Structure 1
Amino acid sequence: MNTQGYETQAAGDWTELKGKVNEGWGELSGDEVREFQGNVQQLVGYIQQKTGETQQLIEQKLVALDARFRPMLEQASATAQEYLQSGSDAANDAAAYVRDAVAAKHAQAEQAVRRKPIESVAVAFGTGIIAGAVIGLILKQR
Protein backbone atom coordinates (compact mmCIF):
# COMPACT_ATOMS: atom_id res chain seq x y z
CA MET A 1 0.00 0.00 0.00
CA ASN A 2 1.19 3.50 -0.77
CA THR A 3 0.89 5.98 2.11
CA GLN A 4 -0.24 8.78 -0.17
CA GLY A 5 -3.84 7.54 -0.22
CA TYR A 6 -3.69 7.05 3.53
CA GLU A 7 -2.03 10.44 3.92
CA THR A 8 -4.92 12.19 2.18
CA GLN A 9 -7.45 10.39 4.34
CA ALA A 10 -5.44 10.93 7.52
CA ALA A 11 -4.99 14.67 7.02
CA GLY A 12 -8.48 15.30 8.34
CA ASP A 13 -8.24 12.59 10.99
CA TRP A 14 -4.90 13.50 12.57
CA THR A 15 -6.13 13.25 16.16
CA GLU A 16 -7.60 9.87 15.38
CA LEU A 17 -4.37 8.74 13.73
CA LYS A 18 -2.26 9.84 16.71
CA GLY A 19 -4.30 7.56 18.94
CA LYS A 20 -3.87 4.68 16.52
CA VAL A 21 -0.12 5.23 16.33
CA ASN A 22 0.12 5.25 20.12
CA GLU A 23 -1.90 2.01 20.16
CA GLY A 24 0.34 0.34 17.58
CA TRP A 25 3.66 1.71 18.76
CA GLY A 26 3.47 2.29 22.49
CA GLU A 27 7.15 3.21 22.62
CA LEU A 28 6.39 6.47 20.82
CA SER A 29 5.30 9.34 23.03
CA GLY A 30 2.38 11.58 22.20
CA ASP A 31 4.80 14.49 21.91
CA GLU A 32 6.87 12.64 19.31
CA VAL A 33 3.79 11.82 17.25
CA ARG A 34 2.41 15.35 17.63
CA GLU A 35 5.54 16.81 15.99
CA PHE A 36 4.47 15.61 12.54
CA GLN A 37 1.22 17.64 12.47
CA GLY A 38 -0.55 15.46 9.92
CA ASN A 39 2.41 14.60 7.68
CA VAL A 40 1.98 10.82 7.46
CA GLN A 41 5.05 10.28 5.26
CA GLN A 42 7.29 11.90 7.88
CA LEU A 43 5.56 9.95 10.64
CA VAL A 44 6.09 6.65 8.82
CA GLY A 45 9.76 7.55 8.30
CA TYR A 46 10.14 8.40 11.98
CA ILE A 47 8.47 5.15 13.11
CA GLN A 48 10.74 3.29 10.70
CA GLN A 49 13.81 5.01 12.14
CA LYS A 50 12.69 4.51 15.75
CA THR A 51 11.56 0.86 15.48
CA GLY A 52 13.55 -0.52 12.55
CA GLU A 53 10.34 -1.80 10.95
CA THR A 54 9.95 -1.61 7.18
CA GLN A 55 7.79 1.05 5.58
CA GLN A 56 5.52 -1.68 4.23
CA LEU A 57 5.04 -3.22 7.71
CA ILE A 58 4.31 0.19 9.23
CA GLU A 59 1.77 0.93 6.51
CA GLN A 60 0.16 -2.48 7.04
CA LYS A 61 -0.09 -1.81 10.78
CA LEU A 62 -1.66 1.59 10.13
CA VAL A 63 -4.22 0.02 7.82
CA ALA A 64 -4.93 -2.76 10.36
CA LEU A 65 -5.29 -0.22 13.17
CA ASP A 66 -7.59 1.82 10.98
CA ALA A 67 -9.71 -1.23 10.20
CA ARG A 68 -9.86 -2.08 13.91
CA PHE A 69 -10.80 1.37 15.14
CA ARG A 70 -12.87 2.67 12.21
CA PRO A 71 -16.10 0.81 13.19
CA MET A 72 -15.87 2.11 16.76
CA LEU A 73 -15.23 5.64 15.57
CA GLU A 74 -18.07 5.47 13.06
CA GLN A 75 -20.43 4.20 15.78
CA ALA A 76 -19.32 6.98 18.12
CA SER A 77 -19.85 9.49 15.33
CA ALA A 78 -23.32 8.12 14.57
CA THR A 79 -24.25 8.23 18.26
CA ALA A 80 -23.00 11.80 18.56
CA GLN A 81 -25.02 12.79 15.50
CA GLU A 82 -28.12 11.18 17.01
CA TYR A 83 -27.61 13.12 20.25
CA LEU A 84 -27.08 16.34 18.31
CA GLN A 85 -30.23 15.74 16.29
CA SER A 86 -32.21 14.93 19.42
CA GLY A 87 -30.86 18.10 21.09
CA SER A 88 -31.71 20.10 18.00
CA ASP A 89 -35.23 18.68 17.97
CA ALA A 90 -35.66 19.49 21.67
CA ALA A 91 -34.41 23.05 21.11
CA ASN A 92 -36.81 23.48 18.18
CA ASP A 93 -39.69 22.17 20.28
CA ALA A 94 -38.80 24.53 23.13
CA ALA A 95 -38.55 27.47 20.72
CA ALA A 96 -41.96 26.62 19.25
CA TYR A 97 -43.45 26.41 22.76
CA VAL A 98 -42.00 29.80 23.73
CA ARG A 99 -43.12 31.33 20.42
CA ASP A 100 -46.67 30.02 20.97
CA ALA A 101 -46.72 31.18 24.61
CA VAL A 102 -45.54 34.68 23.64
CA ALA A 103 -48.12 34.87 20.86
CA ALA A 104 -50.87 33.82 23.30
CA LYS A 105 -49.80 36.40 25.89
CA HIS A 106 -49.58 39.05 23.18
CA ALA A 107 -53.13 38.23 22.09
CA GLN A 108 -54.33 38.44 25.73
CA ALA A 109 -52.63 41.80 26.20
CA GLU A 110 -54.13 43.09 22.97
CA GLN A 111 -57.61 42.02 24.07
CA ALA A 112 -57.12 43.69 27.47
CA VAL A 113 -56.11 46.96 25.79
CA ARG A 114 -59.14 46.82 23.48
CA ARG A 115 -61.53 46.13 26.38
CA LYS A 116 -60.09 48.78 28.70
CA PRO A 117 -58.05 51.27 26.68
CA ILE A 118 -58.03 54.08 29.28
CA GLU A 119 -56.92 51.79 32.11
CA SER A 120 -54.25 50.30 29.84
CA VAL A 121 -52.82 53.73 28.97
CA ALA A 122 -52.83 54.67 32.68
CA VAL A 123 -50.97 51.47 33.62
CA ALA A 124 -48.42 52.00 30.84
CA PHE A 125 -47.92 55.64 31.88
CA GLY A 126 -47.48 54.68 35.56
CA THR A 127 -45.06 51.90 34.65
CA GLY A 128 -43.04 54.34 32.55
CA ILE A 129 -42.83 56.84 35.41
CA ILE A 130 -41.73 54.17 37.89
CA ALA A 131 -39.15 52.76 35.45
CA GLY A 132 -37.82 56.25 34.77
CA ALA A 133 -37.53 56.99 38.50
CA VAL A 134 -35.67 53.73 39.16
CA ILE A 135 -33.26 54.34 36.28
CA GLY A 136 -32.72 57.92 37.46
CA LEU A 137 -31.88 56.73 40.97
CA ILE A 138 -29.47 54.12 39.65
CA LEU A 139 -27.68 56.64 37.43
CA LYS A 140 -27.57 59.19 40.26
CA GLN A 141 -25.80 56.70 42.53
CA ARG A 142 -22.99 56.20 40.02
Structure 2
Amino acid sequence: MNNDQAGGNWKQFKGKIKEQWGKLTDDDMTTIEGKREQLVGKIQERYGYEKDAAEKEVKTWEDSNKYKW
Protein backbone atom coordinates (compact mmCIF):
# COMPACT_ATOMS: atom_id res chain seq x y z
CA MET A 1 0.00 0.00 0.00
CA ASN A 2 1.43 3.37 -0.95
CA ASN A 3 1.22 6.73 0.78
CA ASP A 4 -1.80 7.77 -1.29
CA GLN A 5 -3.84 4.69 -0.36
CA ALA A 6 -6.05 4.81 2.71
CA GLY A 7 -5.72 2.30 5.47
CA GLY A 8 -8.35 -0.14 6.61
CA ASN A 9 -10.47 2.62 8.09
CA TRP A 10 -11.60 3.83 4.64
CA LYS A 11 -14.99 2.13 4.90
CA GLN A 12 -15.90 3.87 8.13
CA PHE A 13 -14.96 7.26 6.70
CA LYS A 14 -16.90 6.91 3.44
CA GLY A 15 -20.08 8.01 5.19
CA LYS A 16 -18.35 11.01 6.72
CA ILE A 17 -17.00 12.01 3.32
CA LYS A 18 -20.49 11.83 1.81
CA GLU A 19 -21.82 13.93 4.70
CA GLN A 20 -19.17 16.58 4.03
CA TRP A 21 -19.45 16.51 0.23
CA GLY A 22 -23.02 15.49 -0.53
CA LYS A 23 -22.62 15.90 -4.28
CA LEU A 24 -20.30 12.89 -4.40
CA THR A 25 -22.11 9.82 -5.70
CA ASP A 26 -21.71 6.16 -4.80
CA ASP A 27 -19.88 5.73 -8.11
CA ASP A 28 -17.53 8.55 -7.09
CA MET A 29 -16.85 6.77 -3.81
CA THR A 30 -16.04 3.57 -5.70
CA THR A 31 -13.64 5.51 -7.92
CA ILE A 32 -12.02 7.25 -4.95
CA GLU A 33 -11.68 4.03 -2.92
CA GLY A 34 -9.33 5.56 -0.37
CA LYS A 35 -7.11 7.51 -2.75
CA ARG A 36 -6.61 11.10 -1.65
CA GLU A 37 -5.85 12.50 -5.11
CA GLN A 38 -9.01 10.90 -6.48
CA LEU A 39 -11.03 12.55 -3.70
CA VAL A 40 -9.52 15.96 -4.46
CA GLY A 41 -10.25 15.46 -8.17
CA LYS A 42 -13.87 14.46 -7.60
CA ILE A 43 -14.42 17.45 -5.31
CA GLN A 44 -13.02 19.71 -8.03
CA GLU A 45 -15.29 18.08 -10.61
CA ARG A 46 -18.51 18.12 -8.57
CA TYR A 47 -18.11 21.52 -6.93
CA GLY A 48 -16.17 23.41 -9.60
CA TYR A 49 -13.31 24.19 -7.22
CA GLU A 50 -9.74 25.01 -8.15
CA LYS A 51 -7.27 22.33 -7.05
CA ASP A 52 -5.94 24.49 -4.19
CA ALA A 53 -9.43 25.01 -2.77
CA ALA A 54 -10.23 21.30 -2.96
CA GLU A 55 -6.88 20.44 -1.34
CA LYS A 56 -7.60 22.89 1.49
CA GLU A 57 -11.04 21.40 2.13
CA VAL A 58 -9.66 17.87 2.20
CA LYS A 59 -6.85 18.93 4.56
CA THR A 60 -9.35 20.59 6.89
CA TRP A 61 -11.54 17.46 6.79
CA GLU A 62 -8.55 15.19 7.48
CA ASP A 63 -7.52 17.28 10.47
CA SER A 64 -11.00 17.46 11.96
CA ASN A 65 -11.61 13.71 11.53
CA LYS A 66 -8.06 12.64 12.38
CA TYR A 67 -7.95 10.69 9.11
CA LYS A 68 -4.63 9.35 7.86
CA TRP A 69 -4.12 8.28 4.24
Tell me the TM-score range normalised by the shorter chain. Answer: 0.5 to 0.7
* 1:43 CA displacement: 2.5
Give the Cα separation in 1 of the matches to 2:15 and 2:4.
Answer: 15
Greater share of helix residues, 1 or 2?
1
TM-score, normalised with respect to structure 1 = 0.37
RMSD: 2.6
Q: 2:46: which partner in 1?
A: 50
| Partner Cα separation in structure 2 for residue 19 and residue 29 of structure 1 | 11
5+ residue gaps, structure 2, are none
* Percentage of identical aligned residues: 31
Task: Report Cα offsets for 1:25-78 as digits up to 9, x if no partner.
Answer: 1111233212222222122112212211111111111121122222xx8xxxxx
Structure having greater relative contact order (Cα 8 Å, sep ≥ 6): 2
Bigger radius of gyration: 1
- Report how many residues are paired: 65
- Per the alignment, residue 6 of structure 2 pairs with 11
Identify the residue that residue 79 of structure 1 maps to in structure 2.
none
TM-score (norm 2): 0.63
Please give the residue correspondences for 1:1-142 in structure 2 after superposition, counting only pairs within 5 Å.
8=3, 11-12=6-7, 13-70=9-66
Structure 1 gap segments, 5+ residues each: 1-6, 74-142
CA spacing shift, 1:39–1:62, aligned 2, 3 Å:
same
